[in-house]
Amino acid sequence: MRLTWLGHSSVKLETGNHVIYIDPYAGPDEWYVPANLILISRFHFDHCSIEKVRRASSDNTHILGSLEVAREIFPCSILSAGESRKFDGLEVFGMPVSNPHVDIIRHTETNNAIGFTIVAENKSVYFMADSDFLPQLEKISPDVLLIAVGGTYTAAPKEAAKIADLVYPKLAVPIHWGGIVGTRDDADLFRELTSVPVKVLEPGSSVEL
């Protein structure tokens, strides 16, 4: 399995014969190729570029997202927290999201957003979206945690470090920095403060899982 950070909250996963995009927004157009699966956590401009979704879509592409996303994109299947979908050797689980930063600033509802856990090759990748910590997520111990660290609309580095320690992944990859909000310093500070292993990626760089 290969994980590529495309910038901000945009991630590409390659596993077996599957290409998966999560929150297609960041990066040049040429980084987006027809995918098997597109996962969209919320219908905000910095999580969902319609142009990127079109570039990554084909007749064989499945798109999953929150109710808000499904209202705006067709075709898109709704995935709610606690639900799962299977796709030929991989499974996607809907994860709960709670984000007072976004909900206060933008006056939105948390049920307009969803997190994802992708399980494939006996590995689990947990994409928290813009969520803060939820008690039911303590020590779920995914293989990889994709966690926002940029502050303003998400947890800042100190808070994110505490969340990572509670979720306790084998590896944490900081996202939601380096573009609209957050800097490389935020990602590096997160790495210094958390007790879990961290890989800080540059846009377009990858890590083998």
Indicate the domain borders of the chain: 2-199
DSSP state of 23: S
Where b means 16+ CB within 10 Å and e means fewer, 56-74 reads bbeeebbbbbbbbbbeebe
Give the CATH H-level superfamily of domain 2-199.
Answer: Ribonuclease Z/Hydroxyacylglutathione hydrolase-like (3.60.15.10)
**pLDDT at residue 105, as a whole number:** 39
Write the DSSP symbol of residue 74: S
Q: Report residue 145: phi and psi, to 5°.
A: -115, 120
pLDDT of residue 136: 80
**What are residue 151's phi and psi, to 5 degrees?**
75, -175
CA atoms of 97 and 92, how far apart (whole Å): 15
Q: What is the pLDDT of residue 104?
A: 42
pLDDT for the residue 138: 81
pLDDT at 102: 54
- CA 135 from chain center: how many Å? 19
Q: Which residues contact 8 (CB under 8 A, 6 or more apart)?
A: 23, 25, 26, 46, 175, 176, 177, 178, 179, 180
198, two tokens: 């961290």
Per-residue pLDDT of the chain (209 residues; tens, 9 = 90+): 999 999 999 999 999 999 999 999 999 999 999 999 999 999 988 889 999 999 999 999 999 999 989 999 999 999 999 999 999 999 999 999 876 655 443 434 445 889 999 999 999 999 998 877 787 888 889 999 999 998 877 889 999 999 999 999 999 999 999 888 889 999 999 999 999 999 999 999 999 99
Whole-number pLDDT of residue 132: 78
C-alpha–C-alpha distance, residues 160 and 150, integer Å: 9
The pLDDT of residue 80 is 93
